[in-house]
Amino acid sequence: MHSFESYILQEYNLPVNVVCNKFSYNHSVKEKVDKVSKVPITSNIITVHIDSYDDKHNLLASHNEKFIDGEIHRSKKNKLVNVAPSELNNRFASAKQSIASVILQELNIKLNDIQQKVANINKYCNAGGVIPNEFVNEPLIGPPTPNVEPPINKHFEF
């Protein structure tokens, strides 16, 4: 993956004071139907987003590249000046598994966060019923009843 990232950076004339480059990757799927055969076509799109920063954490440059089904987008092929599109496609193909694992790790982190939020809202709403879960199997014991004798009715005649 390092060889892909260093090769794609050769395309851009970055300023001299660039200290670091941040790479982020995104995956999306685009589906369309072929007009002639009416067969659905699925395209996997990997977007590479590159941010370049200076030593004071100021953003100097930002670039995006799209790879559709493992190849750089058609409109971008003709615009590349410093790198060969075929070599860029080859380097992307060699780094594809590691890029996919980075995307998968980020999505798993987001999934865990969402699952935790759902669990928290269920706990807040007490989805199990009126009685909280820690008291569900305990018997309900009311207050003790005092031993009160029934009143004796006395009847007086006049």
Q: Residue 20: its pLDDT value, please? A: 92
* Average pLDDT, 10 consecutive residues per value, the chain (158 residues): 89 86 95 90 95 92 93 89 92 94 96 93 70 66 74 72
Query: Three-class SS of residue 59?
Result: strand
Domain ranges of the chain: 2-125
CA 151 vs CA 148, 154, 156: distances in Å:
9, 9, 16
Name the residue with tokens 């005092």: 146
CB 129 within 8 A of CB 110: no
Q: Residue 125: its pLDDT value, please? A: 77
Q: Residue 87: its pLDDT value, please? A: 93
Q: Residue 72: its pLDDT value, please? A: 93
What is the pTM (predicted TM-score) of this model?
0.71
CB 32 within 8 A of CB 69: no
Residue 61: both structure tokens together: 């440059």
